[in-house]
Amino acid sequence: MTTQAASKKPFGMLFDRVLGQPSAEDKAVGDSRKPLQDLAQLAIMVEMTTIPPYLTALYSISDPNTKAYQLLRSVMMEEMFHINQAANLLVAIGGRPKMTGASAPTYPCYLPHANTSTTPFIGLCRASLEVFNDTFTAIETPAPPHAPARGDNYSYIAQLYDALEDGLEAYKGAQPLFEQNPDACQRTDIYLGKFGGTPIQVTDLASAKLGVQQIVQQGEGSVPEAQSMIPIQPWATYNTYGERTDGTYGPIIGSPYEMSHFKKFRTVSLDKDSFPDSYPIVSNPKRSDFTNPVAIELVELFDIAYSLMLDAMEHSFASRAGNANDTFFTLALPLMHQAMPNLARQLMNTPLHADTDSSVGPNGAPTYLYQPGSNLQDFAKRLQKALGVVGQEVADPAERHELQHALSNVSANVKQLIAAAQTHHA
């Protein structure tokens, strides 16, 4: 197996470390919670790894009014909640979430620390029945009853979270387990709209386990031991979840409250006649694939926006003094809602090579390469450069106008973000 295809294992023999076999690094750090902090950080990285593939497929769907688009969008938003909740747990046990640098995913890949024989190889591809069925559904497949907890070589994401829960329960280290990192903060105010999940502030084992339970049941669902994979039913079984009237959380029998991610992807993959059209983008794009100057500008602009979003997400979990800038609402969220989708869709309608029919392709697609040191001012300058390239390279007036209009809108949004940041710091 090639190095590229291997599952990244940045935390060594993590499961052994959680079970009481500390590494030399653990001993040097002097915090007995380090293995559990790494396991919570791994959970963040696993959730982060799913988002660019889901976003690529989402952006590639030409009609946002389709069921496939809406279900996929809801999953992607809920993955953001999962990151939030895993980050809260990490902060509660003394860590600080990382989403940039080596913690940012690169594609194609397996989920970090996953069993490469039983989990899907994940790429950046256009939406298709095969992608929903063979990759997305496989990522979110529920663990069978009595599947062992695994921090390494897990076959189901639920096994990873079971290992995290078991490690929290078994912890007997020198430091108090739930002693929050003073340089970090938990977030319970991130708005997810109509999508499921309520971020929980983690203060003890009970709140930590409730947060983990929400993540697992919202994603893979919960499969009762006596109920193996069953056909779709009109009322809730293990496929639905939510807050019960007694304050607990879990599957709600008899109420179609919310489908798990697994169920959503399965529903789309089985509805072959209604699957929407998607743009003819290249799969797993590399920078070396691009020769069209306009496509090169767009793919590099997207990566800057993506990098700024990751920086802002990571910083949003840092402790803030007084009325310091909240980078989630002032930067991460606007980039996710404005710059990234606009740039991605223009890129997906732009051929990789000049003088190629965009209706046939292959067209460009985001590479999701983290660019350290990105800043808004350089982003604004690069947008102006891209406008000039479009003016020189795109001969068709209508196509040129559409691209320039889209870039001008992104540029205006970026200038607003810069102005807001300057006003805040004045």
Residue 257 has pLDDT above 60, yes or no: no
Helical packing angle, 340-348 and 293-315, nearest 10°: 150
Q: How confident is the model at residue 224 (pLDDT cuts 50, 70, 90)?
A: very low
Which two structure tokens, joined as six digits, stand for 99?
């989403």
Distance CA 320, CA 322 (A): 6
| Predicted confidence (pLDDT) per residue in 45-68, tens digit | 999 999 999 999 999 999 999 999
Q: Cα separations (Å) of 274 from 33, 65, 245, 310?
A: 49, 12, 36, 34
CA distances 273 to 12, 67, 68, 263, 276, Å, are 45, 12, 12, 18, 9
Q: Higher confidence at residue 12 or residue 127?
A: 127
Q: Over 50: is that where the pLDDT of 255 sits?
A: no
pLDDT of residue 323: 56
242 — pLDDT class (breaks 50, 70, 90): low
Give tens-digit pLDDT for 77-89: 889 999 999 999 9
Distance (Å, rounded) from C-alpha 79 to C-alpha 317?
17
> Which tens digit of pLDDT belongs to each residue from 83-119?
999 999 999 999 999 999 999 999 999 999 999 999 9
Indicate the DSSP class of residue 149. Answer: P
Most trustworthy range by pLDDT among 216-225, 242-251, 269-278 = 269-278
* Banded model confidence at residue 235, pLDDT cuts 50, 70, 90: very low
Q: Residue written as tokens 């049941």?
A: 217
Q: Which helix (H) or strand (E) holds 395?
A: none
CA angle 8, 10, 13 (to 5 degrees): 100
Residues of the chain within CATH 1.20.1260.10 domain(s) are 14-22+29-274
Are 371 and 398 in contact by the 8 Å Cβ rule? The answer is no
Question: Which run of H or of E encompasses 249?
Answer: strand 249-250
The mean per-residue pLDDT over the stretch 132-156 comes to 91
Residue 241 pLDDT: 55
Report pLDDT digits (tens) over 367-412. Answer: 999 999 999 999 999 999 999 999 999 999 999 999 999 999 999 9
Look up residue 81 and give its two tokens. 């909640």
* Neighbouring residues of 194: CB distance < 8 A, sequence distance ≥ 6: none
Upstream peptide bond of 105 is cis (omega within 30 degrees of 0): no
Residue spans of alpha helices (H) in 245-351: 261-270, 293-315, 327, 333-334, 340-348
Give residue 166's region: left, alpha or beta (phi > 0; psi -120 to 50).
alpha
Sign of the dihedral defined by the CA atoms of residues 235, 237, 243, 246, in that order: positive
Per-residue model confidence (pLDDT) at position 423: 75
Average pLDDT, stretch 159-170? 95
* Residues 275/68, Cβ–Cβ less than 8 Å: yes
- Mean pLDDT over residues 273-293, rounded? 96
The C-alpha atoms of residue 30 and residue 229 are separated, in whole angstroms, by 45
Residue 250, SS3 per DSSP: strand
- The predicted-structure confidence for 324-359, as pLDDT tens digits, reads as follows 678 999 999 999 999 999 999 999 999 999 989 999
Q: With a threshold of 0.85, does the pTM exceed it? A: yes
pLDDT for position 312: 96
Q: What is the CA radius of gyration of the chain?
A: 22
Q: In this structure, what DSSP letter does residue 242 have?
A: E
Q: pLDDT (tens digit, 9 = 90+) per residue, 183-210?
A: 999 999 886 655 656 789 999 999 999 9
Which of 136-151 are b and which e, b meaning 16 or more Cβ less than 10 Å from the residue's Cβ? bbbbbbbbeeeeebbb
Average per-residue pLDDT for the chain: 88
Distance CA 38, CA 33 (A): 9
What's the CATH superfamily of 14-22+29-274?
Ferritin, core subunit, four-helix bundle (1.20.1260.10)
Q: Residue 2's pLDDT is what? A: 39
pLDDT at 179 over 60: yes
**Closest to 227 measured CA to CA, from 239, 216, 242, 210:** 239
Q: Given this model, what pLDDT does residue 353 score?
A: 95
Average confidence (pLDDT) over 236-254: 53
Whether the per-residue pLDDT at 280 is higher than 90: the answer is yes
The CA–CA distances, whole Å, from 288 to 283, 353, 386 equal 13, 11, 19
CB count, 10 Å around CB of 199?
19
Residue type, 314: E
pLDDT value at residue 30: 87
Task: Give the pLDDT score at 303.
Answer: 98
The domain over range 287-425 is classified in CATH as 2.40.10:
no
Of 177, 151, 178, nearest in space to 164 by CA: 151
Lowest mean pLDDT among 110-124, 214-228, 303-317, 396-410: 214-228
